[in-house]
Amino acid sequence: MPRPIQALVHSAALAHNLALAAQHAPDSRVWAVVKANAYGHGLERCFAGLQRADGFALLDLEEAQRLRALDWRGPILLLEGCFEPRDLELCSRLNLWHVVHTAEQIDWMAAHKTQMPHRVFLKMNSGMNRLGFSEARLRSAWARLNALPQVKEISLMTHFSDADGPRGIAHQVQAFARATEDLPGERSLANSAAVLRHTALAGIAADWVRAGIMLYGSAPDAPAGSVHTWGLQPTMTLCSRLISVQQLQPGDTVGYGSTYTASQAQRIGIVACGYADGYPRHAPSGTPVLVDGVRCALVGRVSMDMVAVDLSPVPQAGPGSEATLWGHGPHGTALPIDDVAQAAGTVGYELMCALSTRVPVAVAD
C-alpha cells in the first residue's frame, strides 16, 4: 500500500473561483495566472477548470509550451517577458504575448527576425519598484516599440504592491493614469486583491485583470479577508491518515527538540505528512489539522515525514483516521489553507506552491 498522503485538485472549485473573478470585473477579460505550475496545483490538472479564462498568464516558456500542447489557442502572456533574445523565437512560433519591462528587451525585439509581429505589454513601474519603466522613461519606451515593425500592438500594464493592505492602490493608479494618459492601447492593472477589493472603484479593472491566488481558493488579503468573505472555494486538498496513536502522560514530550510537553494525560495521533511533503516546518503547536473532519491542534515540531496531532477533540479517532492538512475534509468539512498559513507565519501562496513532487495528486470534482 502506498503511503496514505494525497493531494486533490478540485476542478469545479477552480471554475467557480474563475467565474467569481469575472463577476467582480464584468467589463474586463480575465487572465488566469498559472505561473509556478498553476500555484503548485499542476498546469495540466487545472486546465479543465480554468479553460473559460480569456487567457493564461505565466512566466516560464516551458509552461507556455505545455499550454499550447494542451491545445490552448487563446492568449498566453509572459509576465516577465523574455529572458534572452532567442526566447523571442518561441514567442513568434507559439504566438505568445510578452511583457516588456527593460530597454534590453526592446533592443532584442529590434533585432528579432519574424514574419509575425508581436503583441507586447509595456510595463510601468508605478511604485512597486520591481519591474518596469519609470514614469519618466515610459513614453520613450513606448515610442521605440511603436516604431518597430516587429511590434503590432502595445498594451500597458502595472502591478500593485498594496492592493491587499491598508495603503491601497490609489497612488499607483494615479501614477499610471498620469504616465499613460494619451497613450493608446489596452490596460491591465489588477491582481486578485485589486479585483476583489478595488474594482468597484470604476475604471481600475481596465481591459484585463490578472487573477492568481483567488482562483486557487485563498484570500489575497488574509487574515483580514477570508475565503468566506469572498465566497472562494478551496481548490487544493492535502490529506493523509493517522499511522500511529500514542498515549501521553503528564510531562511526556512530543517529537524532535521536545518542544511540546503534555500537561495531562492525552492521546496524540501521528499523521503521515511532513515538511518533505510541503507541509510548513515552521507550523507551531496549535496549527489546525482536521482529524475525521474535527478541528484538532498540531503538537510538537513538524518532522520530515510526520506531524503529531492532539486527539482530545476526537476520542474515537485511531490509526487509519483521515487527516486533512488543508482543503476539504470528510462530511462536508473544510480547513482553509489560509488558516494553516497564518498559524505558520506565511501565506496560502507559499503553501500551495511548496506541495512536494512526492505527493501523488489526483483531480477531483
Ligand X SMILES: *Cc1c(COP(=O)(O)O)cnc(C)c1O
Which residues are catalytic, by number?
A: 35, 256
How big is the chain by its Cα radius of gyration, in Å?
A: 23
Which residue lies nearer to ligand X by CB, 21 or 88? 21
Which residue lies nearer to ligand X by CB, 79 or 270? 79
Q: Is 348 in the site for ligand X (CB under 6 A)?
A: no
Work out the widest C-alpha separation in the chain, in whole angstroms. 77
Give, rounded to a whole angstrom, the gap between the first and last alpha carbons of the chain.
24
Q: Is 33 in the site for ligand X (CB under 6 A)?
A: yes
Q: Which residues inside 189-218 make contact with ligand X, applying CB under 6 A?
A: 191-193, 210-213
Q: Which residues inside 215-274 make contact with ligand X, applying CB under 6 A?
A: 220
The sign of the torsion formed by the CA atoms of 45, 50, 51, 53 equals negative
Q: Is 125 in the site for ligand X (CB under 6 A)?
A: no
Q: Which residues inside 1-30 make contact with ligand X, applying CB under 6 A?
A: none
Q: Which residues inside 143-182 make contact with ligand X, applying CB under 6 A?
A: 159
Least Å distance between CB 360 and ligand X?
26
Least Å distance between CB 96 and ligand X?
15
- From residue 176, alpha-carbon distances to 164, 180, 185, 195, 273 in Å are 18, 6, 13, 17, 46
Inter-residue contact 35 to 41 (CB < 8 Å): no
Which residue lies nearer to ligand X by CB, 220 or 288? 220
Q: Is 101 in the site for ligand X (CB under 6 A)?
A: no
Which residue lies nearer to ligand X by CB, 209 or 323? 209
Least Å distance between CB 242 and ligand X?
34
Least Å distance between CB 159 and ligand X?
5
Residue 214's SS3 state is helix
Q: How far is CA 27 from the centre of its chain?
A: 23
Inter-residue contact 354 to 314 (CB < 8 Å): no
Which residue lies nearer to ligand X by CB, 191 or 321? 191
343: Cβ contacts below 8 Å, ≥ 6 apart: 283, 284, 286, 287, 288
Closest CB to ligand X belongs to which residue?
A: 212
Residue 171's SS3 state is helix
Q: Is 98 in the site for ligand X (CB under 6 A)?
A: no
Please return the burial class of 60, using the count of CB atoms within 10 Å of its CB with bins 0-12, 13-18 and 19+.
middle
Q: Which residues bind ligand X (CB under 6 A)?
A: 33, 35, 79, 159, 191-193, 210-213, 220
